[in-house]
Structure 1
């Protein structure tokens, strides 16, 4: 989910595409979420659709992706696709401001609105 769509740029959009690179090395912090069952891209997109996570409005500052990710992982945990405790682990990570090259400090998670 990324902002920048709609007349004010606050409407989010999900873009799916094929990518030959399974992972990126362009990040400051990463989190591994163990799966509990075989999931496909279709399984995940069906969860996004059925839970109404495809309609999201970011804050006026275009923030809210951390909250969207936490909500998605919460949905996947509730459906049994990821291990119990995954949402709490993600919340612990997204509620920090991670500095490059090291260190973090607590930061309030900006919340957009599902509509």
Structure 2
């Protein structure tokens, strides 16, 4: 894994073949949470993870970009793939995020803010017609659940974060 900075991703011309939304095992020992992130699957192999995180007990988000050799992490419980509808590069997604100030995010404080951040990014990407119309609406239904290994998804109520 190689961490990337904003200037690197804003000039990254690697082609994206698919955008993957991933639900990860959360940090809670009892399995009562998930973490959500986005992976840009590269046509040349590997992926770039787009991940909004915060420190425990804090609400201010920090956008992390990671260059990865793999397509799916071992922490994934569930994932959905959304093919791109035109030739896009990592820099196009990065530009969408920074242009809309989506890197300036405050979590809800209830442990579910990453869901809303992922949905918002997918909505923005859809708005630029990089993925099919209706994608963010289709994703919305999946965001309503807590995912656990070897158990059925559990419907939950969650709280949206805010953009600064």
TM-score range (shorter-chain normalised) is: 0.7 to 0.9
CA distance in 2, matches of 1:40, 1:14: 18
User: Unaligned 5+ residue runs, structure 2?
Assistant: 1-51
Q: Which TM-score applies when normalising by structure 2?
A: 0.63
Cα-Cα RMSD: 1.7
Answering whether residue 83 of structure 2 is matched by residue 34 of structure 1, we say yes
Maintained 8 Å contact 2:110/2:158: no
- 2:107 aligned partner: 58
Structure that is richer in helix per residue: 1
Cα-to-partner distance string for 1:12-56 (whole Å, 9 max, x where unaligned): 111113222232232111111121112211111100011111100
Find runs of 4+ consecutive structure 1 residues off by over 6 angstroms: none
The structure whose RCO (Cα within 8 Å, separation 6+) is larger is 1
- 1:2 aligned partner: 53
Structure that is richer in strand per residue: 2
SS in 2 for 1:76: helix
Distance 1:23 1:100, change over 3 A: closer
Maintained 8 Å contact 2:85/2:129: yes
Q: How many residues are aligned here?
A: 113
SS in 2 for 1:32: strand
Distance 1:62 1:4, change over 3 A: farther
User: Unaligned 5+ residue runs, structure 1?
Assistant: none
